[in-house]
Amino acid sequence: MFVGREAELYMLRTLESRDGVKTCMIVGRRRIGKSELIGQFCSDRRSISFEFAIGALDSQLRYMADVLTESTGVPREPYSSMYSCLRDIASVCREARTIVVFDEFQYLVADDKNNAISSELQRFVDTLLDGTETMVIICGSQTSMMRELTSDPRRPLFGRFPETIELKPLSLQECALLHPTMTELDQLRLYITVGGIPAFHNPERGSTYEDFIWESFMRDQALLQEEALLLIGSGSPVDERDRKIIRVISEGAVTNKMISEKTGTDKDTCSARLKAMVELGILGRLNPMYGAPKQPRYYIKEDAVAFYYGVYESNRARIDPRRKEETMKKLRDGISSFLGRRFERVCEDYLRKHWYCLETGRWWGPSDEIGEDGKPVIVDIDITARISQGDSEFDVFCECKMRRRPAGFTELNTLVERVGFTKQNVNARYVLFSVGGFTEDLEDYAGTRADVDLVDLEDIVRDTPPG
């Protein structure tokens, strides 16, 4: 079942309708749905699609000859050069309007040290296809390399692929469509667990949350055990240093100093690895707001990776693949705690969808309660944001509760108190997110207040605006 990607399909169709030669680059992380998007776009169009794998140039040329044989019905011998192959493709394109796809393009140019293959593709676009109505798409999961190939003025493909589509994860609402028999709560729990990567949402793995994660993570040889690790290296072998860093972050180490000490990695190396994983989208950095300490705090951004380390790996000794019911019962509390911690990210997405956010982040700092060590107890606010609405701006502070019990005045009063601990001059608005809904008296109170918003499970899953 194909869901979402309406904007991307519209862009591809609009581009393809133009006269002359058109080019487009599609990038995005592993399993994000790049090939599915291309397949959907090409389904009712004449196309030639190459999906490359790791291999030397001669094996790539043999493969391309096989694809052209299959596409045209005319036998081809293995090509002697990339030029002869591309010239043959161009001759096919002269027959009729055609889309040519080079999928997993990074494997074709992996050993292109002298830019020979890139130069031939430049000639293909600039000269060989001249006078045709051809659309050329290059696609790959190594985003930084793909962008360098096309944006570096010293490279042959500079300026040849100005139209770029970078695929992002699907939304909660789009993923929910893939699981129509699940309850809204299970749809939310699953989204928190594996995120918006469409390949991870195969509905055949289960119609309940627990069935799904058993099939995906817990049973022997479950698919996402390996896939979660491949996300760390974007499909390349995983760096053991990165695994150690992610593991200690899942255990609660959140600063460079704490991570460095727990992994035994020197601070400079640790900082470099953290930066690299932030750029890959595996890790994220919390944005301190309203006077929170500026020292960076890290978290695991990639949902499936967070579940792998936070639940699967940390409970391996308790997982018996022969005893599903017993195992899931033992893991239930740990899974619930994991989901509660990750719920904030879904709530932040909701906030960004429905308000114009100038900035979102977190606050943490001292309260007026003194701990056993004689120091103030550190408390936090789940989500903070600066919002622009019309000609005014205001400050939003959120509390997020993923539990079955309704939230009430206790949660609202705690949030108001913590906003006071920030000691900032703010135009405050309070938002409570609660999967278990709200007490009747709090709902009545919020109905009389312009500065209090309540968002429940149905609002989140169905994307209902607040208020």
CA angle at 45 for the pair 42 and 51, rounded to the nearest 5°: 40
Q: Which amino acid is at 325?
A: E
pLDDT given for residue 221 in this prediction: 87
Long-range contact pairs involving 289-293 (C-beta distance under 8 Å, separation at least 24): 289/359, 289/361, 289/362, 289/363, 289/384, 289/386, 290/363, 290/384, 290/395, 290/422, 290/424, 290/426, 291/363, 291/365, 291/422, 291/423, 291/424, 292/361, 292/362, 292/363, 292/364, 292/365, 293/364, 293/365
The answer to whether 318 and 346 are in contact (CB under 8 A) is no
Q: Token digits for 179? A: 């699981």
How is residue 355 annotated by DSSP? S
- The three-class DSSP label of residue 178 is coil
Distance CA 309, CA 300 (A): 10
Task: Determine the Cα angle at 147 with ends 142 and 153, to 5°.
Answer: 145
pLDDT for res 239: 73
pLDDT digits (tens, 9 = 90+) for 30-84: 889 999 999 999 999 999 999 999 999 999 999 999 999 999 999 999 999 999 9
Whether the full predicted model's pTM is greater than 0.95, yes or no, is no
DSSP string over 382-424? EEEEEEEETTEEEEEEEEEE-SSSPB-HHHHHHHHHHHHHTT-
> Which one, of 261, 462, 249, lies nearest residue 350 by Cα?
462
Q: Count of CB atoms within 10 A of residue 432's CB?
A: 24
| Ramachandran area for residue 159 (φ above 0: left; ψ -120 to 50: alpha; else beta) | left
Question: What contacts 8, CB < 8 A, 6 or more positions away?
Answer: 37, 165, 167
* Amino acid (1-letter code) at residue 201: H
Measured CA distances, 334 to 84, 144, 315, 338, 439 (Å) = 59, 36, 9, 6, 27
Q: How far is the CA of 438 from the CAs of 65, 349, 396, 403, 417, in angstroms? A: 64, 21, 19, 11, 19
Contacts of residue 226, Cβ cutoff 8 Å, sequence gap at least 6: none
The H or E element that residue 111 is part of is none
Cβ atoms of 186 and 209 within 8 Å: the answer is yes
**The two three-digit tokens of residue 51, written as one number:** 């999906």
- Nearest one of 251, 271, 448, 425 to 338, comparing CA atoms: 251
> Tens of pLDDT along 137-160?
999 988 888 998 999 999 999 999
Pairing mode, strands 376-389 and 164-166: unpaired
pLDDT averages per 10-residue partition of the chain, 467 residues: 92 96 94 94 96 92 96 94 96 96 93 89 96 96 87 93 95 96 97 95 94 94 86 66 92 94 93 90 94 93 94 92 93 95 96 96 95 93 96 96 96 97 96 98 96 97 89
